[in-house]
Structure formats: C-alpha cells, structure tokens
Amino acid sequence: MNKQFIQSNADLSAYSTYEIGGKAKYLAAPTTIEELTSVLEFAKEKELKPFWFGMGSNILFPDEPKEDMIFISLKELKETHIDEKGWFVSAGMPMSHLSLIGLASGTADFDFCFLLPGTVGAGIYMNAKYYNRQICDILDTAFYIDLNDPEFKVQTIHVDGCGYSYKNSIFMNNDWIIVGAYLKHPDFNALEQGIREVERLEQVVEYRNPSVLPNFYKYYTAMAETWAQDHEAEVPESFKSVIQDRGSKFHFDYPSCGSVFKNNYDFGEPMGKVVDRLNMRGTVHGGASISSWHGNMIVNQGNAKAEDIVHLVEQVKKSVNEAFDFIPEEELIIVEKK
Ligand SMILES: Cc1cc2nc3c(=O)[nH]c(=O)nc-3n(C[C@H](O)[C@H](O)[C@H](O)COP(=O)(O)OP(=O)(O)OC[C@H]3O[C@@H](n4cnc5c(N)ncnc54)[C@H](O)[C@@H]3O)c2cc1C
C-alpha cells in the first residue's frame, strides 16, 4: 500500500466523539475528491467493504473492527469557495464552521449550527437539526458519489429530490458518499468576505481534533469570542443561548454521541422524557452510563467499551417497549463488529 492517506492499524477511538473503537486494519483520510476516488478504487481492488463517516459524533465503532472493512474519514475534505453556480462547501467542513461564516457575513441563517457537532456531509445525510432549524433549510444541491457507479463519478441532487423529513433523507437508503454541497446564502458579496474572515480566525485560534468534545467546544467558543473582540462586538445572543442550552445538559463534558434515539412523535414526548419516566438516568453498565443530565444520552465515563454502550441501548429499548409498547429507533449508528 503506497497511498499516504491510507493508514493501517489506526485507532478508531481517535475518530469518534465516544472515544471508543479498536484498531482498523485500513483507515483512509482523503483530502480531495480525487484521493477519495482512489481510496474507493483501492477498496474495490482489495474487496474491502467501505464505511464512510465524518467527525464520528453519531457513530459507535466496534472494539474489534472487521478486517475486511476500510474506514473512510471525510473530515479532511474541508474546502469552501464561491463559483459561478453557488457556494460550495466540502463534506468534511464542520457544521459549526457554517455558523461562524454566517456570523462573519451578517446572516443568522446558520446560527443553529453553532456547537452542533459533526460535518456538513453527515448533516446532509441525516438532516441534522437544532430545535426548529435543520440542514435541509440551507441546502441547495448535494454532490455525491454512488458506490454502485463503476466510474465513481460525482453526481448532483437538488434539495427537492432528497426526500427530507425528521432525521431522514434519500442518502440514508443509498450507498452514496456526499462529497460536498451548494448551500444557500442571502448575500454572496458578504459571504465572500465572511469566508476570508473565518480563514483569518483559523490562523489565530489554535485548532485541535474536534472529535474530542471539550476541544470542539473550546475551539468554536474561542472562534466566536475572538470574532467579537476583533469587531468590538458582543457574541450574539443566539450563540450565547446555545452555549447555555448545551452547557446545561453537559454535552461536552463526557465522550458521547449526543442523543442515542430519535424522538417518537406518535408517542408525543421526546425520548429524554420517556427515559426519565422510567427513572433510568444514571444507570451504569461497565464504563458507560445513561447521562445524569439527559435521559437520551449515554456517555462514556472514561473506559467504556462499545459493548457497554450497546448493553444500555438494548436495556432502554426493552424497558420502553415493556412500559410504553414501542421500540425506540436508534439515531446512533452502531458499526458491526468482527
Ligand atoms: C454532544 C452532541 C450533541 C449533539 N447534538 C445534536 C443536535 O442537536 N442535533 C443533531 O441533529 N445531532 C446532534 N448530534 C449528533 C451529530 O451532531 C449529528 O448526527 C451529525 O450529523 C454527525 O456528524 P458526523 O460528521 O460526526 O457524522 P458521523 O458520526 O461521522 O457519521 C454519522 C452517519 O453519517 C454518515 N455520513 C457521514 N458523513 C457522510 C457523508 N459525507 N456522506 C454520506 N454519509 C455520511 C455515516 O456513514 C454515518 O452513518 C450531537 C452529537 C453530540 C456528540
């Protein structure tokens, strides 16, 4: 193997906000679409099963990954530019970056992405949301590679064709790797300046692996504060309220993947409340526990194994089914083990 961007025996725990996962026989982190295509060709040639992902903030990697899998991290694909057709953002760009570009270009359209862990590609994949705003509100056109296309050509799909609903999309039913997107913006002149301004901030604020949640929190709050200081302005109230909301639920204090289950709107109560009714907050198994602050989060207390998290996921499903007669659907993606 001579491709610099394919590593062997890479520790998957460094690629997931759960900080859980064993050694992957193959892990690739392409920095361009050409490199990604060459990884896919390598996988095809070696008959490896690709698993593609972003920041790992919604994934539980196994303690013993399958040896015939190649894990493809897209978080190094993080380029953005404006061309004659629109504003292009690569799939690995952190969603939180969009909130800063919005801040620096004078629009609140991307405020909901502030401190929303994960990448633009994954946000498009699962229609990431924060309260009443979701990624499909800002998407114009997605660019993707269909793994069933022997040439791995980049194809496009307009937002109207993406079948979006609550945490659901066409991408979740297809072997499509999103490589980037055109996003909507109300003012392209201001956007150009905003992109330059965020590039300047990137030179000033120290960047660390965003798959470690305290790093992620510190980096994006520092970016917003530095912007405010440099412009003799205040951090916007909408950003402050995200800090308050996520801080009060201790989102960045323990390794986790945020909400484990999707809400069941037919039942009429969010999953956090459903788990609370069963008094399951604080339930511990091995190194994992149901968060003491939010019933729909299962956290790694420091030395959890994937099995510990899976055990608690199954325990919640069983208890909810017995008490309320429905099986909650996981939002967390659990990758199969050996
Ligand atoms: C503390 C915390 C709070 C959170 N709060 C929220 C919240 O408020 N709202 C919310 O919606 N989510 C929330 N999440 C979950 C997470 O932010 C989202 O699920 C996000 O979209 C995951 O992005 P990622 O890059 O980490 O994806 P990953 O975890 O790396 O991947 C998740 C899934 O997306 C697929 N995927 C990733 N990239 C691509 C791509 N380019 N093309 C196709 N498929 C892809 C992967 O195959 C996988 O199935 C939270 C997570 C944490 C840790």
Question: Which residue from 17, 78, 116 has its CB within 8 A of the most atoms of ligand 1, so it is best to mutate?
Answer: 116
Domain over 6-73 is classified CATH 3.40.190.10: no
Residue having the nearest C-alpha atom to atom 41 of ligand 1: 121
- Tell me which of 57, 259, 289, 291 is the catalytic residue: 259
Atom of ligand 1 minimally distant from the CA of 94: 25
Residue ranges of the domains in the chain?
A: 6-73, 80-247, 271-334
211 lines ligand 1 (CB under 6 A): no
Q: How far is the CA of 189 from the centre of ligand 1 (A)?
A: 30
Region for residue 258 given its phi and psi (left: phi exceeds 0; alpha: psi -120 to 50; beta: otherwise)? left
Q: Is 238 a catalytic residue?
A: no
Q: How far is the CA of 332 from the centre of ligand 1 (A)?
A: 9
- What pLDDT does 211 receive? 85
Q: Is 331 a catalytic residue?
A: yes
Neighbouring residues of 156: CB distance < 8 A, sequence distance ≥ 6: 141, 142, 143, 144
Helix residue ranges per DSSP H, the chain = 33-46, 95-104, 120-126, 188-204, 213-230, 237-248, 271-277, 306-324
Among candidate residues 98, 58, 52, the one with its CA nearest the CA of residue 75? 52
| Span 80-247 CATH architecture | 2-Layer Sandwich (3.30)
Q: How far is the CA of 231 from the centre of ligand 1 (A)?
A: 32
Asked if 49 contacts 40 with a C-beta cutoff of 8 angstroms, the reply is: no
Q: How far is the CA of 169 from the centre of ligand 1 (A)?
A: 13
- What pLDDT does 210 receive? 83
Atom of ligand 1 minimally distant from the CA of 91: 41
Residue having the nearest C-alpha atom to atom 22 of ligand 1: 118
Among candidate residues 93, 172, 87, 89, the one with its CA nearest the CA of residue 127? 172
Per-residue pLDDT of the chain (338 residues; tens, 9 = 90+): 456 778 999 999 999 999 999 999 999 999 999 999 999 999 999 999 999 999 999 999 999 999 999 999 999 999 999 999 999 999 999 999 999 999 999 999 999 999 999 999 999 999 999 999 999 999 999 999 999 999 999 999 999 999 999 999 999 999 999 999 999 999 999 999 999 999 999 999 998 888 899 999 999 999 999 999 999 999 999 999 999 999 998 999 999 999 999 999 999 899 999 999 999 999 999 999 999 999 999 999 999 999 999 999 999 999 999 999 999 999 999 999 88
Q: Matching CATH topology for 6-73 and 271-334?
A: no
142 lines ligand 1 (CB under 6 A): no
Cα–Cα distance list, 25 to 19, 49, 177, 334 (Å): 18, 12, 21, 18
177 lines ligand 1 (CB under 6 A): yes
Number of neighbouring beta carbons within 10 Å of residue 34: 9
Domain 271-334 sits in CATH at 3.90.78.10
- What pLDDT does 3 receive? 66
- What pLDDT does 337 receive? 86
DSSP conformation letters of 137-157: GTEEEEEEEETTSTT--EEEE
DSSP helix/strand/coil, 325: coil
